[in-house]
Amino acid sequence: MVGTPVPIPEGHAMAHTLVPPVVTEGPALTELRLEVRAFLEDEIAAGTFVPHVDTWLTRWDREFTRELGRRGWLGMVIPTRYGGQGRTYLERFVVTEELLVVGAPVAAQWVSERQIGPSLLTYGTEEQKQAYLPGISRGEVIFGIGMSEPDSGSDLASVRTRGEKVEGGWKVTGTKVWTSGAHEADGFFALARTEPLDPAHRHRGMTQFIVDLHAPGVQIRPIVSMDGDHHFNEVHLDGVFIPDDRVLGEVGEGWRQVSSELGFERSGPERILSTFQLLAEAASAMDEGRLPSDGGLGRHVARVAALRQMSFAVSTALEAHEPADTAAAVVKVLGTTEEGDIADYVDTLTASGWVEDERLYALLQAAIIQRPGFTLRGGTNEILRGVIARGLGMR
């Protein structure tokens, strides 16, 4: 028997709305979506790229990224005075979703577009905005993220990279790890400790630096994945000189800045759609009789559909400058779990009745190899559950 819902008193933890209300896409957004879709269909037909899984991390194509810039599909939320498009988060959502659904090679632009641009807009000086935002919007300036260290991932406040004040700037020394794309990027934002650790206030005394990855003292060493691919790196900073004008935001405020940067990082459609190409290919294989039809397909389609509505709703909240950290964490936990579940589902399906299908097999192998990273990158699901509990006032 289904019980009558119990009214939740105002102020109770559960009275918080976990995810903003669902919104529907208007005709202007649909028109933009169809424009992007038509372009991508042409590119696939022309052989510019072969759709794949997890392309926002693993598939770099600078020329493709520049072409997106020429079409006005990068720097979408960057104001026109800084070379951007001055459009909305919802328009950006529609474009990124179309790119991810077809598994386009978008890794080169991803970090710059998603979080470096918005961070520069919030914390950058006028000179820094002028220096980097136009290039990001053209797809010509590529940044990475320099947060994690060998002994510092979830507990970022334990970073050991340190910045020492010197004449005209800072000398930064330390090691960053898991730095996606550092070997291809022009620069990264490095989080460093600039004051001694105060155990009572661990989050104080950190600073973000804009580091030129070609500067003297920077050494980038590849970390090769188990499939032989190279997208991770270890980045050693050996007394790298950072001029004062390449401090991002305020000295000592790195923690606050990084926390808001992670907000941009967590809620987007890339937290749902990394394995969508695999699901789509499995659906085609069933349709064409190459795989046995299976009721599980509908369950995954329904989950993806619900998740994308949640992610769209978070973009709507960002557009309205409403807080969305808790909602973003909910989307990321559920979305990245579903990405992995899709890999498991197709794996089980094919194991029980494997049909020769090279393309499906290649996508499945890639999804299985990338799968462990889905729930780790951008903050692990355990940590995000803590964020959700805090957002609900439960801890």
Find, among 264, 392, 384, 278, the residue nearest to 332 by Cα.
384
Using CB under 6 A, pick the residue from 179, 274, 277, 316 that binds ligand FAD: 179
In the region spanning residues 15 to 74, those forming contacts with ligand FAD, defined by CB under 6 A, are: 57
Q: Are the beta carbons of 41 and 82 closer than 8 angstroms?
A: no
Parallel, antiparallel or unpaired: strands 143-146 and 187-193: parallel
- C-alpha distances in Å from residue 374, one per residue of 139, 266, 300: 25, 12, 17
Q: Which of 148, 161, 207, 267 binds ligand FAD (CB under 6 A)?
A: 148
Stretch that binds ligand FAD, among 121-129, 140-148, 319-327, 329-337 (CB under 6 A): 140-148
CB of 175 or CB of 316, closer to ligand FAD = 175
- Rounded CA separation 75/179 (Å): 22
- Considering only CA atoms, give the Rg of the chain: 22
By CB under 6 A, residue 229 contacts ligand FAD: no
278 vs 291, which CB is nearer to ligand FAD? 278
Query: Quick check: 158 binds ligand FAD (CB under 6 A)?
Result: no
Quote the CA–CA distance of 122 and 128 in Å, as a whole number. Answer: 11
- How far apart are CB 101 and ligand FAD at their closest, in Å? 20
Q: How many CB atoms lie within 10 A of CB 260?
A: 15
Nearer to ligand FAD, 178 or 255 (CB): 178
Q: Which stretch binds ligand FAD (CB under 6 A): 13-21, 282-290, 328-336, 379-387?
A: 379-387
Task: Please tell me the chain's helix, strand, coil percentages from 3-state DSSP, rounded to the nearest 5.
Answer: 50, 15, 35
Q: Is residue 180 involved in binding ligand FAD (CB under 6 A)?
A: yes
Q: Which is nearer to ligand FAD, 87 or 271 (CB)?
A: 271
With CB atoms as reference, the residue minimizing the distance to ligand FAD is 153
Angle between helices 276-287 and 358-374 (to 10 degrees): 150
For position 259 contacting ligand FAD by CB under 6 A, the verdict is no
Q: Which is nearer to ligand FAD, 176 or 300 (CB)?
A: 176
Contact yes or no for 133/84 (Cβ under 8 A): yes
144, 249, 268, 391: residue in contact with ligand FAD (rule CB under 6 A): 144
Provide the binding-site residues for ligand FAD, judged by CB under 6 A. Answer: 57, 144-148, 153-154, 178-180, 373, 376-377, 379-380, 382-383
